[in-house]
Amino acid sequence: MVGTIKQQLYISGVPQGLTMTVTALNLLPPDPPKEWRATLYDRSGRERKAPFVIGPNIDGGHIGEVKMYGAHAFPSNSLGARLEILWKLEGNATRVAARSGDSDDGAVAYVTVPPEEEVEHPALKPADAEPEPRGADEKPPVDPNDPASWQTKLDALPPLPQLRAAEPARTGRFIVETTEWGLVQRPDYVSVLYQVGSATPLRVVSKVAATIIDMPDDALFVIGVNTKTQEIGINGVQQKDVANTLVSYLVQGIFYAHEKAFGWVFGKFW
């Protein structure tokens, strides 16, 4: 048995006046291999069914636990199943990230964290220039920077479902997936792709420990809105204190470019 991967998802910041709803849960690809499963559960272990409202003040911001596993004892080596989580935002933001005070062009204000310490996200870490030698039958190490390591391609996603034109809302998605599973080994990395509208998505990537007990780092998401430019931004992090920092700057009107975050993805709000 290859074991199980459990990825925890949280929403840590949504502007006041907006409601965030998960609208659909889709197992990808449409006809996934029968030996793989990916399912979203709540804290009590019950399978979640869309639609449902999520938010920082609902169940501690817990979106759910994505459980990925093989459906029988010895599934084939593959990238496994993926879970797509579609969401929408509705309402009118009452506290937003606005343009900078000294700017007249409606541009979003960015502030970068001073590099107090070196931070290497798995998805951003360069591959070794001289990899260690390996046996003839040993596979090369998985590189999370290589698009071939992931089933979902950032530049080839299908468009998001469109909402009614008269309904001001913003749609987005998360896709939870892994690198290849071995015959008896869990994958090396887990990714939570995040996207808003038709913008190019980014990933929150976590390395998976070799033991069957340890799980990937939590993935937390923060959302901000700029009503001047009609933009929405979403950022992914793995630490609650970093998420709280991003939220505190959004209240001040700043999309904070934190070095411990995976980056802002921006799209039009309506």
Q: What is the largest CA-CA distance in the chain?
A: 62
How many domains are there within the chain?
Answer: 1
Q: Which helix (H) or strand (E) holds 247?
A: helix 240-251
pTM of the model: 0.85
Q: Which residue has the tokens 């949280």?
A: 10
Lowest mean pLDDT among 7-11, 14-18, 127-131, 237-241: 127-131
pLDDT on residue 106: 42
Q: How many Cβ atoms from other residues are within 10 Å of residue 88's Cβ?
A: 19
Q: Could you report the per-residue pLDDT of 97-119, keeping only the tens digit for each?
A: 543 333 444 444 555 444 444 44
Q: Which residue has the higher pLDDT, 218 or 1?
A: 218
| Mean local confidence (pLDDT), 20-28 | 94
pLDDT > 80? residue 125: no
Say how far apart CA 82 and CA 79 lie, in whole Å: 9
CA distance 78 to 22: 28
Supply the range of the domain harboring residue 159: 4-268
Q: What is the mean pLDDT of the chain?
A: 81
Average pLDDT over residues 13-27: 93
- The two structure tokens encoding residue 73: 């004892």
Question: DSSP assignment, residue 160?
Answer: P
DSSP H or E segment with residue 244: helix 240-251
